[in-house]
Amino acid sequence: MGRRSQRIRRAISTYFDNIYVKVNPSLTTSERRGSGLGGLTILLAVFLGLLIGAGALAIFMHEATIGIWDRLATKVSGRTRVMNVSQPTVVEKIQRLERLDTVTYTMDKVVEGSRTSDILPDFLVGDKLILTVHGQAIAGVDLSQVQSSDVTVNGKSVHVRLPPAQIFVSALDSSKTRVFSRSTGLFVPVDPNLESEVRAKAEQELHDSAQAAGILDTAHKNAAATLTKLLLTFGFEQVQVDGGR
């Protein structure tokens, strides 16, 4: 009986000697603090992102007042836009545009001027100058000339009659205009006025060439297109711009 008890005790002792307990180490105070700061940083980043997004949306809603951006902002915000499109207001806004430059014509040309005699040959009394010129003509429509009688407003429709297109500037570029050659007869001095006369002739040719190329017609078409786009932003659904030819 005693030996049997001893064998049982040894078996139980051996069994418990092979049992072990796995214990997960607990987080330290610094690790728990780091984990908490990480979560706070994520929340702060999300909050700042929402704040920046809201600010950008507010700026977009305030600045989007023209064309497709205005329509997009209207759909996003559900806002309704009320504008004063009375006839006097439309006239005033058009007149504020004043001189509307719409087209530029450029000319590069060789222009010649001379002094000759009906009796003696040029190598004795002639004076000849050849000028290479570069110039520009700028045309458009002076919208300050628009009168109340030129604008008709009928609900969502507006009709505007433009004043005639005109060439505002026709001038040579002095930095690109040079004397190509000058020849003077043996018996005459250099004429100091000849170059000025050739320059004036070149400016007139620039003006005439621009007109022949249809600069006024193009200026009218461009002004009409620009004004049509502007009037559409006022809320008009039908815009007609003509006249000025």
The angle formed by the CA atoms of residues 126, 130 and 136, to the nearest 5 degrees, is 145
Confirm if 137 and 206 have CB atoms less than 8 A apart.
yes
Model-level pTM greater than 0.75?
A: no
Using alpha carbons, list the distances in angstroms from residue 128 to 37, 67, 117, 185: 90, 58, 12, 9
Task: Report domain extents, the chain.
Answer: 26-81, 87-243
Q: Look-up: residue for tokens 């559900």?
A: 78
Reported confidence tier of residue 73, pLDDT bands at 50, 70, 90? low
pLDDT digits (tens, 9 = 90+) for 18-61: 544 444 455 555 555 555 566 677 877 777 788 787 777 666 55
Where does 109-214 have alpha helices with state H? 122-125, 194-212
Structure tokens at 54: 């809201």
